[in-house]
Amino acid sequence: MLDKITQILQDIKLGNFQAIARAITMVENELAGSEALLQHLSAQKETKVVGITGPPGAGKSTLVNALLHYWMQQNKRIAVLAVDPSSPFNLGALLGDRIRMSEFYTHPNVYIRSLASRGALGGLHHQIYEITDILKHANFDYILIETVGVGQSEIDIAGMADCTVVTLVPEAGDEIQTLKSGIMEIADVFVVNKADRPLADSLINTLKAMLHDHASQSIEVIKTIASELEGMEHLSHAIDAALIKENSNKERKLALTLEKCWRIIQYNKMKSIQKKEVENALKMAIQKEDFNLYKFSSQF
């Protein structure tokens, strides 16, 4: 088994997409050898992770597609993880938005993988850290993670990305007011997409005023029309500037690594606990008059 894993890892280093897909499938489904594979990942050059998040309808998939167009002209190698809402029937990813990136599915410098959130809290994926580390083992210049853009996912993506791009549309002005504090904490770059629409300049001014109030003038606000591939050079430069700034922040890097380590420890500790077994035990215990949830939970 170890020889097999060693070969897979060597192939991943060489940029073999089949090996990458095989390794991700192993980890995603916790197949035999997946834990050993993760433990044998070697320290590679620190491929930067860029999170693309924002509310539904902001054009995140179109923005990713436009960035791919720009970066392909720069001869970059890009991996894209697109986290979709899960199908309620088979827990697979709903791939409707991926059609926007269809022209890159066979591109030799672009690896695209859709992942179902599978009900994970925050709308990401249970093995998103592990899958990202597999991609870091390959020779990509950037790893893009596009979230479902709902609920807690904006906060979660900021916890693992080196640069978080928050994508908004001109009509999001009212929504900004209600999300003020959270957005200020996670955004490294703001994108006002579909900037040819009315109210675009108004939203940009609102964002800049908010950034000024939070002493975050270094955060750029970029205008894009992703469907027309406009604004990508400016956005790419803003991402690179944010990554340089992030790389010098050792305290933040330690905090993010600690959070990642803590999550891995929690997940491994919970592996032996089956939810169905807890449910069966709970059915019996909850009928007792002296039932106490905390006492019950402590037995697992």
pLDDT tens for each residue of 189-231: 999 999 999 989 988 988 888 887 766 667 899 999 999 999 9
- Residue 178: Cβ-neighbour burial (10 angstroms; 0-12, 13-18, 19+): exposed
Residues linked to residue 86 through DSSP beta bridges, in sequence order: 93
Cα–Cα nearest to 174, from 153, 152, 202, 196: 202
Domain 43-248's class? alpha beta
Token look-up 């925050």 returns 122
pLDDT-derived band of residue 153, with 50, 70 and 90 as boundaries? low
Q: Where are the domains of the chain?
A: 1-42, 43-248, 250-300
- Give the contacts of 8 (CB within 8 A, at least 6 positions apart): 19, 22, 23, 37
pLDDT at 93 over 50: no
> 63-96 in b/e burial notation, b at 16+ Cβ within 10 A?
bbbbbbeebeeeebbbbbbbbbbbeeeeeebeee
* Token pair recorded at residue 182: 């959270």
Strands (E), 169-244: 189-192, 220-223
pLDDT of residue 49: 93
pLDDT-derived band of residue 179, with 50, 70 and 90 as boundaries? low
Q: How far apart are CA 51 and CA 161, in angstroms?
A: 5
